[in-house]
Protein backbone atom coordinates (compact mmCIF):
# COMPACT_ATOMS: atom_id res chain seq x y z
CA UNK A 1 0.00 0.00 0.00
CA UNK A 2 1.27 3.47 -0.83
CA UNK A 3 2.36 5.87 1.89
CA UNK A 4 -0.40 8.19 3.14
CA UNK A 5 -0.20 11.84 2.11
CA UNK A 6 -0.85 12.94 5.71
CA UNK A 7 -1.88 11.38 9.01
CA UNK A 8 -4.95 13.19 10.31
CA UNK A 9 -5.04 13.55 14.10
CA UNK A 10 -8.73 13.35 14.88
CA UNK A 11 -12.23 13.99 13.64
CA UNK A 12 -13.24 17.64 13.97
CA UNK A 13 -16.87 18.14 13.02
CA UNK A 14 -19.87 17.40 10.85
CA UNK A 15 -21.33 20.07 8.60
CA UNK A 16 -25.01 19.56 7.82
CA UNK A 17 -27.59 21.62 5.99
CA UNK A 18 -31.00 22.15 7.57
CA UNK A 19 -33.87 24.44 6.60
CA UNK A 20 -34.68 25.57 10.16
CA UNK A 21 -31.92 26.54 12.59
CA UNK A 22 -34.35 26.85 15.53
CA UNK A 23 -35.46 23.23 15.08
CA UNK A 24 -31.85 22.12 14.63
CA UNK A 25 -30.72 23.94 17.77
CA UNK A 26 -33.55 22.46 19.84
CA UNK A 27 -32.55 18.92 18.84
CA UNK A 28 -28.81 19.50 19.28
CA UNK A 29 -29.31 21.13 22.68
CA UNK A 30 -31.46 18.20 23.81
CA UNK A 31 -28.68 15.95 22.42
CA UNK A 32 -26.19 17.64 24.76
CA UNK A 33 -24.30 20.07 22.56
CA UNK A 34 -23.99 23.75 23.50
CA UNK A 35 -24.32 26.80 21.31
CA UNK A 36 -20.94 28.40 20.62
CA UNK A 37 -22.04 30.86 17.92
CA UNK A 38 -25.17 31.35 15.89
CA UNK A 39 -25.19 33.67 12.90
CA UNK A 40 -28.11 34.50 10.60
CA UNK A 41 -27.35 31.45 8.48
CA UNK A 42 -25.33 28.96 10.55
CA UNK A 43 -25.21 27.32 13.96
CA UNK A 44 -21.96 26.19 15.63
CA UNK A 45 -22.30 23.81 18.57
CA UNK A 46 -19.54 22.78 20.98
CA UNK A 47 -19.01 20.19 23.70
CA UNK A 48 -17.28 20.48 27.05
CA UNK A 49 -13.84 19.98 25.45
CA UNK A 50 -11.53 22.55 23.93
CA UNK A 51 -12.77 22.38 20.35
CA UNK A 52 -14.43 25.62 19.23
CA UNK A 53 -17.22 23.58 17.63
CA UNK A 54 -18.06 19.97 16.82
CA UNK A 55 -21.24 20.39 14.81
CA UNK A 56 -22.17 22.95 12.15
CA UNK A 57 -25.65 23.48 10.74
CA UNK A 58 -25.99 25.73 7.72
CA UNK A 59 -29.41 27.07 6.78
CA UNK A 60 -30.52 25.40 3.54
CA UNK A 61 -31.64 22.02 2.20
CA UNK A 62 -31.11 19.03 4.50
CA UNK A 63 -27.82 17.82 3.08
CA UNK A 64 -24.59 16.35 4.35
CA UNK A 65 -22.15 19.13 3.50
CA UNK A 66 -18.87 17.82 4.92
CA UNK A 67 -16.96 15.85 7.50
CA UNK A 68 -14.04 17.65 9.14
CA UNK A 69 -10.73 16.12 10.26
CA UNK A 70 -7.83 17.79 12.05
CA UNK A 71 -4.43 18.00 10.39
CA UNK A 72 -1.28 18.15 12.49
CA UNK A 73 0.14 21.19 10.69
CA UNK A 74 -0.55 23.73 8.02
CA UNK A 75 2.21 22.03 6.02
CA UNK A 76 -0.04 18.96 5.89
CA UNK A 77 -2.78 21.05 4.32
CA UNK A 78 -0.36 22.17 1.61
CA UNK A 79 0.75 18.58 1.05
CA UNK A 80 -2.85 17.52 0.49
CA UNK A 81 -3.57 20.48 -1.76
CA UNK A 82 -0.56 19.58 -3.89
CA UNK A 83 -0.95 15.81 -4.02
CA UNK A 84 -4.60 14.84 -3.59
CA UNK A 85 -6.58 14.55 -6.83
CA UNK A 86 -9.36 17.13 -6.95
CA UNK A 87 -8.24 18.95 -3.79
CA UNK A 88 -9.02 22.61 -3.30
CA UNK A 89 -6.23 24.98 -2.44
CA UNK A 90 -5.48 25.86 1.18
CA UNK A 91 -8.19 28.37 2.03
CA UNK A 92 -9.19 30.39 5.10
CA UNK A 93 -12.30 29.14 6.89
CA UNK A 94 -14.44 32.27 6.78
CA UNK A 95 -16.53 31.40 9.79
CA UNK A 96 -16.38 31.54 13.60
CA UNK A 97 -13.29 29.77 14.92
CA UNK A 98 -11.26 30.61 11.82
CA UNK A 99 -8.46 28.33 10.71
CA UNK A 100 -7.58 26.96 7.30
CA UNK A 101 -9.05 24.16 5.23
CA UNK A 102 -8.41 21.92 2.25
CA UNK A 103 -11.55 20.40 0.79
CA UNK A 104 -11.37 16.94 -0.77
CA UNK A 105 -13.94 14.66 -2.38
CA UNK A 106 -13.85 11.16 -0.98
CA UNK A 107 -14.55 8.12 -3.12
CA UNK A 108 -18.34 8.63 -3.22
CA UNK A 109 -18.08 12.38 -3.68
CA UNK A 110 -18.73 13.48 -0.09
CA UNK A 111 -16.77 16.53 0.99
CA UNK A 112 -13.96 15.98 3.48
CA UNK A 113 -12.66 19.13 5.14
CA UNK A 114 -9.14 18.81 6.48
CA UNK A 115 -8.53 21.71 8.84
CA UNK A 116 -5.79 23.29 10.92
CA UNK A 117 -5.55 26.33 13.15
CA UNK A 118 -9.18 26.51 14.25
CA UNK A 119 -9.46 28.38 17.56
CA UNK A 120 -9.75 26.42 20.77
CA UNK A 121 -11.85 27.43 23.76
CA UNK A 122 -11.67 26.86 27.51
CA UNK A 123 -12.94 23.51 28.76
CA UNK A 124 -16.23 23.53 30.61
CA UNK A 125 -16.91 21.81 33.94
CA UNK A 126 -17.97 18.17 33.51
CA UNK A 127 -20.14 15.90 35.64
CA UNK A 128 -18.64 12.47 36.21
CA UNK A 129 -20.24 9.70 38.20
CA UNK A 130 -18.04 7.90 40.68
CA UNK A 131 -19.16 4.26 40.77
CA UNK A 132 -18.97 1.80 43.60
CA UNK A 133 -18.37 -1.50 41.78
CA UNK A 134 -17.93 -5.08 42.86
CA UNK A 135 -14.18 -4.50 42.67
CA UNK A 136 -13.79 -1.21 44.49
CA UNK A 137 -15.69 1.28 46.65
CA UNK A 138 -14.70 4.73 45.42
CA UNK A 139 -17.72 6.88 46.35
CA UNK A 140 -17.53 7.20 50.09
CA UNK A 141 -20.13 9.15 52.05
CA UNK A 142 -21.47 10.81 48.88
CA UNK A 143 -24.95 10.20 47.46
CA UNK A 144 -25.37 9.36 43.79
CA UNK A 145 -27.92 11.79 42.32
CA UNK A 146 -28.55 12.22 38.60
CA UNK A 147 -30.63 15.22 37.51
CA UNK A 148 -33.09 15.07 34.62
CA UNK A 149 -31.09 16.78 31.89
CA UNK A 150 -29.44 16.33 28.49
CA UNK A 151 -26.16 14.41 28.24
CA UNK A 152 -22.95 16.42 28.34
CA UNK A 153 -21.22 15.86 25.00
CA UNK A 154 -17.47 16.03 25.45
CA UNK A 155 -16.10 15.66 21.92
CA UNK A 156 -16.79 14.19 18.52
CA UNK A 157 -15.80 10.53 18.21
CA UNK A 158 -16.27 9.26 14.68
CA UNK A 159 -18.09 9.35 11.37
CA UNK A 160 -19.48 6.35 9.49
CA UNK A 161 -20.18 6.17 5.78
CA UNK A 162 -22.25 3.61 3.93
CA UNK A 163 -20.58 2.76 0.63
CA UNK A 164 -21.14 0.32 -2.23
CA UNK A 165 -17.42 0.06 -3.08
CA UNK A 166 -16.04 -0.34 0.42
CA UNK A 167 -12.55 -1.37 -0.68
CA UNK A 168 -12.11 1.86 -2.64
CA UNK A 169 -13.51 3.95 0.23
CA UNK A 170 -11.10 2.42 2.73
CA UNK A 171 -8.16 2.84 0.37
CA UNK A 172 -9.08 6.49 -0.11
CA UNK A 173 -9.15 7.14 3.65
CA UNK A 174 -5.82 5.38 4.16
CA UNK A 175 -4.14 7.27 1.33
CA UNK A 176 -5.49 10.75 2.09
CA UNK A 177 -5.92 10.75 5.88
CA UNK A 178 -3.45 8.10 7.01
CA UNK A 179 -5.97 5.98 8.91
CA UNK A 180 -5.11 2.38 9.79
CA UNK A 181 -7.37 -0.62 10.21
CA UNK A 182 -8.41 -1.64 13.71
CA UNK A 183 -10.80 -4.40 12.64
CA UNK A 184 -12.28 -5.69 9.41
CA UNK A 185 -15.54 -7.62 9.34
CA UNK A 186 -16.07 -10.12 6.55
CA UNK A 187 -19.01 -12.27 5.43
CA UNK A 188 -19.52 -15.41 7.48
CA UNK A 189 -18.85 -17.76 4.56
CA UNK A 190 -16.45 -15.57 2.57
CA UNK A 191 -13.34 -14.10 4.24
CA UNK A 192 -12.68 -12.03 1.12
CA UNK A 193 -16.05 -10.25 1.19
CA UNK A 194 -15.45 -7.13 3.30
CA UNK A 195 -18.60 -5.91 5.07
CA UNK A 196 -17.31 -3.29 7.48
CA UNK A 197 -14.04 -1.48 8.12
CA UNK A 198 -13.18 0.18 11.43
CA UNK A 199 -10.28 2.65 11.08
CA UNK A 200 -8.39 4.71 13.64
CA UNK A 201 -5.93 7.58 13.53
CA UNK A 202 -2.29 6.48 13.32
CA UNK A 203 -0.61 8.21 16.27
CA UNK A 204 2.11 5.64 16.89
CA UNK A 205 2.43 4.54 20.51
CA UNK A 206 -0.33 6.86 21.68
CA UNK A 207 -3.59 5.07 22.43
CA UNK A 208 -6.48 6.39 20.34
CA UNK A 209 -10.16 5.52 19.87
CA UNK A 210 -10.83 2.15 18.20
CA UNK A 211 -12.34 3.99 15.24
CA UNK A 212 -12.50 7.50 13.94
CA UNK A 213 -13.88 6.63 10.50
CA UNK A 214 -15.85 3.52 9.69
CA UNK A 215 -17.27 2.19 6.45
CA UNK A 216 -20.13 -0.24 6.00
CA UNK A 217 -20.93 -2.00 2.73
CA UNK A 218 -24.35 -0.89 1.49
CA UNK A 219 -26.01 -0.44 -1.88
CA UNK A 220 -26.47 3.28 -1.19
CA UNK A 221 -23.67 5.72 -0.40
CA UNK A 222 -24.37 8.10 2.46
CA UNK A 223 -23.69 9.15 6.01
CA UNK A 224 -24.72 6.26 8.25
CA UNK A 225 -24.09 8.19 11.47
CA UNK A 226 -21.93 10.58 13.39
CA UNK A 227 -20.94 9.98 16.95
CA UNK A 228 -20.20 12.02 20.07
CA UNK A 229 -18.60 10.98 23.34
CA UNK A 230 -20.54 11.66 26.53
CA UNK A 231 -19.17 11.60 30.06
CA UNK A 232 -20.11 8.15 31.36
CA UNK A 233 -22.95 5.64 31.53
CA UNK A 234 -25.07 7.75 33.90
CA UNK A 235 -24.69 10.68 31.53
CA UNK A 236 -25.69 8.53 28.58
CA UNK A 237 -28.80 7.19 30.34
CA UNK A 238 -29.80 10.65 31.59
CA UNK A 239 -29.47 11.93 28.02
CA UNK A 240 -31.55 9.05 26.72
CA UNK A 241 -34.40 9.86 29.11
CA UNK A 242 -34.13 13.57 28.29
CA UNK A 243 -34.27 13.07 24.50
CA UNK A 244 -37.21 10.69 24.95
CA UNK A 245 -39.07 13.18 27.17
CA UNK A 246 -38.66 15.84 24.46
CA UNK A 247 -40.22 13.59 21.81
CA UNK A 248 -37.16 12.93 19.64
CA UNK A 249 -36.83 9.89 17.36
CA UNK A 250 -34.97 7.06 19.07
CA UNK A 251 -33.34 4.60 16.70
CA UNK A 252 -31.23 2.02 18.57
CA UNK A 253 -29.92 1.38 22.07
CA UNK A 254 -28.96 1.39 24.80
CA UNK A 255 -26.41 -1.39 24.32
CA UNK A 256 -22.72 -2.23 24.17
CA UNK A 257 -21.08 -2.76 20.78
CA UNK A 258 -18.78 -5.69 20.21
CA UNK A 259 -16.22 -3.96 17.97
CA UNK A 260 -15.04 -0.83 19.76
CA UNK A 261 -16.90 -1.92 22.90
CA UNK A 262 -18.70 1.42 23.31
CA UNK A 263 -21.92 1.71 25.25
CA UNK A 264 -24.13 3.32 22.60
CA UNK A 265 -27.43 5.10 21.99
CA UNK A 266 -28.63 6.32 18.58
CA UNK A 267 -31.04 9.15 17.75
CA UNK A 268 -32.31 10.72 14.53
CA UNK A 269 -32.30 14.49 14.13
CA UNK A 270 -35.46 16.12 12.74
CA UNK A 271 -34.26 15.40 9.17
CA UNK A 272 -33.34 11.77 9.83
CA UNK A 273 -29.57 12.14 10.24
CA UNK A 274 -28.36 9.63 12.82
CA UNK A 275 -26.50 11.03 15.86
CA UNK A 276 -24.89 8.61 18.34
CA UNK A 277 -23.96 9.03 21.97
CA UNK A 278 -21.27 6.72 23.27
CA UNK A 279 -19.09 6.19 26.29
CA UNK A 280 -16.28 3.77 27.19
CA UNK A 281 -14.51 3.02 23.90
CA UNK A 282 -11.63 0.59 23.37
CA UNK A 283 -8.36 2.40 22.72
CA UNK A 284 -5.56 0.93 20.60
CA UNK A 285 -2.05 1.88 19.51
CA UNK A 286 0.49 0.85 16.90
CA UNK A 287 1.44 -2.27 18.86
CA UNK A 288 -1.96 -3.77 18.05
CA UNK A 289 -2.26 -5.36 14.62
CA UNK A 290 -5.40 -5.18 12.49
CA UNK A 291 -7.89 -7.93 13.29
CA UNK A 292 -10.19 -9.71 10.87
CA UNK A 293 -13.43 -11.19 12.16
CA UNK A 294 -16.54 -12.79 10.64
CA UNK A 295 -19.86 -10.97 10.83
CA UNK A 296 -21.15 -13.02 13.78
CA UNK A 297 -18.13 -11.90 15.84
CA UNK A 298 -18.27 -8.29 14.73
CA UNK A 299 -21.56 -6.62 13.98
CA UNK A 300 -23.53 -7.35 17.11
CA UNK A 301 -24.27 -6.00 20.55
CA UNK A 302 -22.65 -7.63 23.57
CA UNK A 303 -25.74 -6.60 25.51
CA UNK A 304 -28.80 -4.58 24.62
CA UNK A 305 -30.78 -4.76 21.39
CA UNK A 306 -29.30 -5.74 18.03
CA UNK A 307 -29.26 -3.20 15.19
CA UNK A 308 -32.66 -2.58 13.56
CA UNK A 309 -32.93 -2.52 9.76
CA UNK A 310 -33.63 1.22 9.92
CA UNK A 311 -30.14 1.74 11.37
CA UNK A 312 -28.43 -0.55 8.88
CA UNK A 313 -30.11 1.29 5.98
CA UNK A 314 -29.26 4.81 7.21
CA UNK A 315 -27.43 6.65 4.44
CA UNK A 316 -28.05 10.41 4.51
CA UNK A 317 -26.82 12.45 1.58
Partnered with residue 77 across adjacent β-strands are: none
Q: Which is nearer to Fe ion, 58 or 163 (CB)?
A: 163
Residue among 2, 8, 1, 12 at smallest CA distance from 202: 8
Tell me the closest approach of the beta carbon of residue 230 to Fe ion, in angstroms: 13
Tell me the closest approach of the beta carbon of residue 266 to Fe ion, in angstroms: 8
Find the part of the chain contacting Fe ion (CB under 5 A) among 47-55, 163-171, 192-200, 270-278.
Answer: 270-278
Q: Which is nearer to Fe ion, 232 or 276 (CB)?
A: 276
The rounded distance, in Å, linking the Cα atoms of 227 and 14 is 10
Q: Which is nearer to Fe ion, 227 or 231 (CB)?
A: 227
Q: Which is nearer to Fe ion, 160 or 238 (CB)?
A: 160
Residue among 226, 221, 109 at smallest CA distance from 160: 226
The rounded distance, in Å, linking the Cα atoms of 223 and 163 is 9
Beta strands in 201-273 (DSSP E): 208-209, 213-217, 222-230, 249-257, 263-268
Q: What does the angle CA 285 – CA 3 – CA 10 come to, to the nearest 5 degrees?
A: 45
* Candidate list 276, 284, 307, 316; residue touching Fe ion; CB under 5 A: 276
The rounded distance, in Å, linking the Cα atoms of 255 and 301 is 6
Find the part of the chain contacting Fe ion (CB under 5 A) among 13-21, 28-36, 91-99, 221-229.
Answer: 221-229
Q: How many residues bind Fe ion (CB under 5 A)?
A: 2
Tell me the closest approach of the beta carbon of residue 164 to Fe ion, in angstroms: 20
Other C-beta atoms within 10 Å of 256: how many?
18
Go through 217-249 and write b for each residue having 16 or more CB atoms within 10 A of its CB, e for each that does not: bbeebbbbbbbbbbbbebbbbbbbebbeeeebe
Find the part of the chain contacting Fe ion (CB under 5 A) among 133-141, 142-150, 224-232, 293-301.
Answer: 224-232
Q: Which is nearer to Fe ion, 99 or 255 (CB)?
A: 255
Q: Does 182 bind Fe ion (CB under 5 A)?
A: no
Find the part of the chain contacting Fe ion (CB under 5 A) among 52-60, 100-108, 242-250, 275-283.
Answer: 275-283
Q: Does 36 bind Fe ion (CB under 5 A)?
A: no
The rounded distance, in Å, linking the Cα atoms of 254 and 305 is 7
Largest Cα–Cα distance in the chain? 61
Q: Does 227 bind Fe ion (CB under 5 A)?
A: yes
Find the part of the chain contacting Fe ion (CB under 5 A) among 88-96, 112-120, 184-192, 227-235.
Answer: 227-235
Tell me the closest approach of the beta carbon of residue 58 to Fe ion, in angstroms: 23
Residues 6+ apart with CB under 8 A from 141: none
Tell me the closest approach of the beta carbon of residue 116 to Fe ion, in angstroms: 25
Binding site for Fe ion (CB under 5 A): 227, 276
Amino acid sequence: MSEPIIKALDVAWIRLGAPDLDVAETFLTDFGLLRQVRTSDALYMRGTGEAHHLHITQRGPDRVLGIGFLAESEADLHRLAARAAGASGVMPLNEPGGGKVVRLKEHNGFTIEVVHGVASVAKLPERHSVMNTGAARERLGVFQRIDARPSQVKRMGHAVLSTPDIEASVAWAHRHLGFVVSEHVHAEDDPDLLLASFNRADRGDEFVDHHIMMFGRHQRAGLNHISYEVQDIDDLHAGHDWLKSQGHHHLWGIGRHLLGSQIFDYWKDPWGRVHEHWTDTDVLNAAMPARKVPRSQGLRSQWGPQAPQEFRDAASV
